[in-house]
Each structure stands twice: as C-alpha cells, then as structure tokens.
Structure 1
C-alpha cells in the first residue's frame, strides 16, 4: 500500500514564499507511483492541504489528518520544507513526534540547536570546530559599541540569531553603523550575534543520508556581486554558485570531512547544508541549515546533481530515511 506523504511548506517567517517554492519542487519530484503525495500549507492563519484543482482542505491539528471528498487521509510521513519557524527550529518536529509521524528533517532538539546560531557555534567550538570571533546582544540590552568592536573588530557582520535566507543581516564597516545594524537584526529576532569578518573563499557543503551512509556532496563556491551573500545574491541572481568549488582537492576533502563531522556531532539527519569560509587556509564554520532550499536552482540540488543524484532519488531517500529512523 502506498504511503501518504505530506509535503510541508510555508511557515511563519519572512521565508514563507521561498519555502513554497521548495515544497512545490518536492511535490513535483517525489515518485507518485510509490507515494500518495499531498501539499500541506502551514501558515500562522491556517493549515490546509491544497489539491491539484486548487481546493483547500483544512488540516485537523489534533491528529494531522485531512478530509478530502469524504475520505480521511492520515499521513505516514511529512517531508519538511519549511524554512524558519516552525519547520526549522524544532517546533513542527516536536509536534509530529508526539503524534508518531516521522518527518524528513533533523529531530526537534537537533533542529532547535542548529537553528540557534549562537548555541550551535558554542557547542561546536568544544569539538575544535573553528569559527569567527563573536559577541552576543539581546533585545533590551544596553549597547556598548566600543566593547563590541574590541571583541570582533571592523568590519563585522551583525545577524539575527534565529533567521535564514540572510534576513536581518548587515555588514558593518564603521562604528557609527553598529546600532542601526543591531536594530535591523532585532526586527527578525530578539537575539543578535555579531561576528568578526573572515577574509577568504566562502563555500557550502551539503551533507545527506545516502545509501545508508552520511555523505558529503560536492563543494559549492559562493561568489557574490554584493558585500556578502545576502538575500539579493541568494535569490535574485546577484551571485555565482560554482559546483564543484574552485579549490584544491585537499581543501575540498578537508571541508567535506568537517561538514560530515558537524553532521555527526549535532546528530543531524536528512538533507542539510553547512556554510564555511576558508580563512588562513582553514575552513571556519558559519552556520548549518537543516531545511535548505530545494528548488532546482538551490545549492543542495546543484550539489546532488554534480554527484549524480537526481531530485527524485534525493527526495525519495529523505523519505525512506525518515520512515526507517522513526
């Protein structure tokens, strides 16, 4: 009997529309001969399944089921493509786990930890993972710009601690810009992380469960036309994403091993992507994304293609991993 798969898309943040694009691609490529696939839209206002005739059918949050044409659909697995909350920060994972429904992203604690940049970096530092110097600010804190600059220097990056797609991030070059940049980040989250500038090649490494093994995909080099890899660079074509990266085989091997190590330390699963900057010849960890973009143009699908893995296989394996690990 075919399994019923809900492709979760949407969410509660600025990444809503990006998530919809990822979800639609997953819906398109999951093998319909193997699964009954449904598009499940998740927003602050409503949860519903949309059928191919554009009819909305409200999801019952008590058991995550839906009634379509007098038939009750109970989902065997959720394919999680929600960027940001509640799909990337552990909330939807915890909810589904209480209902006994497996989902494709990392589990709730692992998702919450990796989504929190400050906590994630702090944990990984204990394992010898290099990263930028940082300074933390919370909403309501008094801001001493001199203290911040003493710790991280200039230029530096000011980021919303729990946000994706480069929302709430600024590059600060002068002390006079610091408070405005922090205020910008606080629009996305009530926690801010300020990081020292790392000069070097930026790369992205996808790590997935493939053929039953933790596998790093070919490395992607990020070359942006802007000051940094911001929203416009990511989604409006103002960057080059070069796969495989123009780095030595030795450096590629080094950063892939680092990405796999992080995957194991954080006990992740499914489809993930970690970002690094080669600074002074060593990969420095930036962040880990446990619900990465999954459109055909997104980085992880590009890497999978370079590894000879098509989208149908990529998504099918994610479902199989979720079903087998629950």
Structure 2
C-alpha cells in the first residue's frame, strides 16, 4: 500500500507564493509508485485540497483528514513545504504533534526558536570555530529609542532586518546614520514578523548557503555548499527570486580545510538546535580572517529546481526524488 503524503503549502505571509512553487517541484519529483501525494493549501481563510478535476475539499482540522465524497483520506505523514508562518514558526508542528501526525521538518520548539534570529544566535554563540556578528535585538518597546541604541553599540555599516522574517523581506543595508530610521521602520513594519528587529554589524566576506539532513538510517549528511554572488547590495528578496541578479556556484570553491570546518560547524548547529529533516545554514567567510560567521538557519528551505538545496542534492550525486523520499522515510 502506498504511503499517503499531505504536501502542506501556502501560509499566512508573503512567502506563500514561493511555497506553492516549492511544493509543486517536490510533488513532481516524488515517486508515485511509492506515494499518494495530496497538496494541502493552508491559508487564513481555509485549509483545503484541490483534486485533479479542480474540486476543492476542506481539511477536517480535528484530525487533518479529507472527506472526498464519502471516502475519508487519512494521511501517514506530512511533508511541510510552507515558508514563513504557520509552517516555519512551529505553529503547524504543534498542531501536528497534538493529532499525532509525523512530519518532515524540525519540531515545534526548534521551529519557533529558529524563526527568532536573535535568540538563535544567543544559543549558538559559543560553538567552536564559529563567530557571530555584533548585534542589537530591538523590541517594540525600544522603537522610540532604537536609533540611539544602535549607534551606541554598533559600528557602521549595519544589516537591519525583521527578527522573525524570511526571504530577506524588510531587510536593509545601512551605510550612513541618516538611513537608519527608515531601515528600522521598514523592518519593524514588515508583515507578520512580530515587531522585533535585529541589527547586525556588516561582515565583509564571501556568502555561502549549505544544507544538512538526517537520512532514513539516522545519519547526518552535509550537502555541498553554494556560494552566492549577487550584483545587488546584498542577497535581498529580488536577488533571491529575480533571474540574472545572482550567480550561484554549487559546489562552492572552498579548500578542503574550509569544507571540513564548515561541515563540523553545521553539524554542531543541527545537533544543538535539535533539528530534524533538512535545514539550510547561511554563513559568511570573512575576507581578512577566514572566520566562519553564522548568518541564519532556515528550517524549511526553498525547493524549486533552482533553489539551493536541490542544487546541492544534485551536486552530491543524488536525485531530488530520492532525497525527498529519505526525508519522508526518516519522518516515518
């Protein structure tokens, strides 16, 4: 009997559009001889599945089943490809834990924690061989005095970003003090990000993104890194999703020592945060020091054909369908 997979996508934020593209790619790669895949859209107004004839069926939220014309579809596993809230911040995972449905991503606490960039950095700050940029975490109560707090504690230039956002939405690079207030307002007011802002000192270096996952045998597997080179000021939303603005090199040109060091650090990050499934770690290698600087962790990374993880899976010598199957089997 085939495994019934709820491929959960959509979401409550501006990242929903990317989620739909990611989910479509995952579905195209999954082995239909092994899996019955049901795309499930989660939106603010409804949770539903649309069949091949365009008929919409609502999800029963009591047990996450579908009543398809009297036939009840009960899922074996949830494959979460929902960027932003509620799929990446732990809300969905808490619900699935309560109804007893296994899923492919990190658990509730890890997901909630890692959506908070400032809290994540605090937990990871003492990992050997890894550095974190000097930063200030600002809450809503700090808004009136935010400019002064940043100027007192940090040196220009800055990265200013929502503390709980994704896809670089609401992020700015600030090179002069008179740009700071506008950047802070942009980050504070980014939709569904919790009115918290993280301001970091700029690290000058090469930028990388690297995936890691736990396979069905329980082994941690570090994928080859991708180097990101963009014509933009930094790797912002446009650079991520508009073709031609960014060059992505997979596998990245790193020395053997740098590759081994990155792998050690990324495995320690995965273990310390109690991650599950696949995650992606973004980092800088500082130009003058060759130090590894943690940027952030993404617990539900993009999965379009051009996204970093599929690139890295191919560079690793693995087919995407086999990779997604490993995630499902590990969850089960």
Sort the TM-score into its range (normalised by shorter chain): over 0.9
What is the root-mean-square deviation of aligned Cα atoms in Å?
A: 1.1
Q: Displacement of 1:61 after TM fit?
A: 0.7
Counterpart of 1:313? 322
3-state DSSP of counterpart to 1:240:
strand
Which runs of structure 2 are paired with 1:169-318 in the superposition (5 Å)?
169-188=171-190, 189=193, 190-210=195-215, 211-237=217-243, 238-279=245-286, 280-318=289-327
Counterpart of 1:100? 100
For the residues of structure 2 that align with 1:61 and 1:290, how far apart are their CA atoms? Answer: 24
| TM-score, length-scaled by structure 2 | 0.95
Counterpart of 2:36? 36
1:163 counterpart (162, 165, 169): 165
The superposition leaves residues 42-83 of structure 1 with CA deviations (integer Å, 9 ceiling, x where unpaired) of 111110011122221100111101111320101111000000
Counterpart of 1:127? 127
Worse overlay, 23-32 or 78-87:
23-32
**2:30 matches 1:23:** no
Worse overlay, 159-168 or 124-133:
124-133
| TM-score, length-scaled by structure 1 | 0.96
Conserved 8 A contact 2:88-2:300: yes
Q: Displacement of 1:179 after TM fit?
A: 1.1
Worse overlay, 19-28 or 204-213:
204-213
The superposition leaves residues 199-238 of structure 1 with CA deviations (integer Å, 9 ceiling, x where unpaired) of 0010111001134311110011010110000011111021
For the residues of structure 2 that align with 1:167 and 1:105, how far apart are their CA atoms? Answer: 22
| Number of aligned residue pairs | 323
For the residues of structure 2 that align with 1:82 and 1:312, how far apart are their CA atoms? Answer: 18
For the residues of structure 2 that align with 1:52 and 1:293, how far apart are their CA atoms? Answer: 24
Conserved 8 A contact 2:279-2:301: yes
Counterpart of 2:149? 147
For the residues of structure 2 that align with 1:13 and 1:76, how far apart are their CA atoms? Answer: 27
3-state DSSP of counterpart to 2:305:
coil
Worse overlay, 36-45 or 26-35:
26-35
Conserved 8 A contact 2:138-2:146: no
For the residues of structure 2 that align with 1:234 and 1:22, how far apart are their CA atoms? Answer: 14
Q: Displacement of 1:145 after TM fit?
A: 2.4
